[in-house]
Amino acid sequence: MNIELCKETDIELLEQEIPSPGQSKFHIGRMRMQKEGTASYLIAWNGEKPVGHLLIKWDGFGPVMPESLKNIPELNSFEVAENTRGKGIGTSLIKAAEDLAIQKGVKTIGLLVNPDNLRAKLLYERLGYHDSGTGIYTDEWEAYDDDGNKFIDSEACLAMIKNLTD
């Protein structure tokens, strides 16, 4: 397995192997953010097949978060293909993201997790992330259903952070 920054030519294969829901085309939006310099989109590859992805949002958690988190880069859009989970791909993606952040001089990084997703929460804790103390909030984003109709999707989230200088 190797991890690389996403390239334009990867998008079609990503949609085939780890598809966006409905007509959302999330991979295209993430690639656009990378081109704009506001994010880095990491792809995990098993040979010629993408098996996971993770977006680093360099501009932080966003406007709905408390002031203390707004400028902390966020690990986002983290997914490992279902048939490859439990093989270290997620850990490798997170470590690659942290290494990239350290190269950019980032001292603290964070992520959001559904508090009911115990498997993910335990992984993050094992990797040194802890509850930011900001409580649970509802994250919202635009998506498109199978017919192309736009809707707002949401999920309960807990912000977790990690000091990268330890």
**Domain with 12 in it: what CATH number?**
3.40.630.30
> Average pLDDT of each block of 10 consecutive residues along the chain (166 residues)?
96 93 90 96 96 94 75 92 84 97 96 93 96 88 87 90 92
Q: How far is the C-alpha of 52 from the C-alpha of 84, rounded, in Å?
A: 9
> What phi and psi, each to the nearest 5 degrees, are found at residue 128?
100, 5
pLDDT of residue 69: 83
Domain count, the chain: 1
Domain that holds residue 115: 2-163
pLDDT value of residue 61 = 80
Q: What is the pLDDT of residue 31?
A: 96
